[in-house]
Structure 1
Amino acid sequence: MPVRSRWRSLARVEVRDNDGQQHGWLNWPVSGRVASRGGVRLTLGGSAAVVLRTRDGRRWTVVTEARAQAERIAADLQSAGLT
């Protein structure tokens, strides 16, 4: 399924605090697998994150520099009717 179609099937969008740490063995900006329990994590470091989960259980975490950025992303997704 194309990524654009998955955006239409978002089940939940959450804003969370982020510990600023990498959660894998390597310090990569993108890690994980979309179907794994932790999902895909996109980060260059930051204190907050937006967690996106689709209706079929796939998960993405996008780390942002500050909580205000994460809240704006979540609000934009919700106002676009994607959740």
Structure 2
Amino acid sequence: MDVLLGSGEVVTCTPDNEHRDLFYGLANSYGTLGYILRLTVLAIPVKPYVQLTHIRFADVYALFDAVRTWTERELILSMERCSSRENIT
């Protein structure tokens, strides 16, 4: 990505060049480190629909338990996806 610095200099930042600290730090700097002039991104295809579910919890502990369960379940699904990809020949 090309970044305009406060000094007026334009630098190109990549994950492995001399401006890598700027490459990794710029996203959450809210413009304090520079202004992005050019950016190349990879678009990832998504499904044509989104499902949204609202769930009410009686207390914060019920919420914590639900998040823990969902996180563990997603971790297991992710590991299954990874191992199934590794076995494809």
TM norm structure 1: 0.25
* Larger Cα-atom Rg: 2
Q: Which has the higher contact order (CA 8 A, sep 6+)?
A: 1
Structure ranking higher in helix proportion: 2
